[in-house]
Amino acid sequence: MALRSPLEPRVRSVTMTAAFDRDPSVGDAPAVTASDVAGPPIDEATGGYRQARFRRPVGATEIVLVRHGESEPAVPGRPFPLVDGHGDPALAPQGEEQAERVGERLAGTQIDAVYVSTLRRTAQTAAPLLARVGMTALVEPDVREVHLGEWDGGLYRQRIAEGHPLVAKMLKEERWDAIPGAEPMEQFSARVAGALARLVTAHPDQRIVVFSHGGVIGEALRQVVDSPRRFAFVGVDNASISTIVSVAGRWVLRGYNDTAHLQ
């Protein structure tokens, strides 16, 4: 009998559909009521009202966004293999350790579904968690990383290290498509919004974990807070955890770049 590697992903494909031109939570989701946000009753010991912790309202969708672990180094002259034009490096040893830490952190929490992108570093990062909870990941293609055009496959890291002039342009304009051939910003934003919409539609009143990429998580968080700055949340750490909640047509940011499990 063949043995499964600890980092061999348990993944199956899934197809979901949802409208791209509507708020992902509007529709059948119930409106937030006073009882959803009400705090605890008066405390008999003190005769006062204690501050309440956040509770996910009925019908809301909680999405735990996990960036993949550190991937293997980009060696000049040895580009990463490509999947649909996207660089597809495996995890580095450091990333494998980070994946284990993520699995330990999340295994004891409520999880109704786990998603990964089409790129193997997300599936490898999810593998320890899946093994612990006995689940199989679903594939959501639209949470794959932003396409970096001529700089994909590892060249992006080299250009950053070199201080290429287009890097300054990209950061100043806060647009990935300053890179030649990169995915247009409007197209990328619509892709991420569509993925979020489908996830919310598919998982009302549930908590799901989505293993994705730095660019995608940054864009998702930007949309959640409706920031005009495209790169406001770019730079989340490898294996970090950010949490968002869709509540009756509104988004709530609950956590950003949590790396306590890596300390």
- Tell me the per-residue pLDDT of 139-176, one tens digit each, with 9 for 90 and over: 999 999 999 999 999 999 999 999 999 999 999 999 99
The average confidence (pLDDT) of the chain is 89
Q: What is the pLDDT of residue 188?
A: 98
Give the residue carrying structure tokens 């590892």: 154
Predicted confidence (pLDDT) at residue 20 exceeds the cutoff of 50: no
**Burial code of 210-224, b = ≥16 C-beta within 10 A, e = fewer?**
bbbbbbbbbbbbbbb
The fraction of the chain above a pLDDT of 90, given in percent, is 79
| Mean pLDDT (whole number) for 22-48 | 64
Q: What is the pLDDT of residue 55?
A: 87
> In terms of CATH, what superfamily is 54-145+183-262?
Phosphoglycerate mutase-like (3.40.50.1240)
Q: How far is residue 124 from each of residues 94, 131, 137, 213, measured CA to CA in Å?
A: 12, 11, 11, 13
Separation of alpha carbons 259 and 21, rounded Å: 34
Predicted confidence (pLDDT) at residue 21 exceeds the cutoff of 50: no
Q: What is the pLDDT of residue 42?
A: 87
Separation of alpha carbons 96 and 12, rounded Å: 21
Domain layout of the chain by residue ranges = 54-145+183-262
Confidence class of residue 232 from pLDDT cuts 50, 70 and 90? very high
Q: Are 203 and 111 in contact (CB under 8 A)?
A: no
Residue-wise pLDDT tens digits, 189-207: 999 999 999 999 999 999 9
Confidence class of residue 24 from pLDDT cuts 50, 70 and 90? very low
Confidence class of residue 30 from pLDDT cuts 50, 70 and 90? low
Q: What is the pLDDT of residue 40?
A: 76
Q: What is the pLDDT of residue 164?
A: 97
| Mean pLDDT (whole number) for 120-148 | 98
| Mean pLDDT (whole number) for 69-93 | 97
Separation of alpha carbons 224 and 218, rounded Å: 10
Amino acid type, 205? D
Q: What is the pLDDT of residue 43?
A: 85
Structure tokens at 97: 């350790």
pTM of the model: 0.86
Structure tokens at 138: 């679903």
The set of residues, in sequence order, having a beta carbon less than 8 Å from that of 188 and lying 6+ positions away, is: 146, 147, 176, 215, 219
**Ramachandran category for residue 205: left, alpha or beta (phi over 0 → left; psi -120 to 50 → alpha):** left
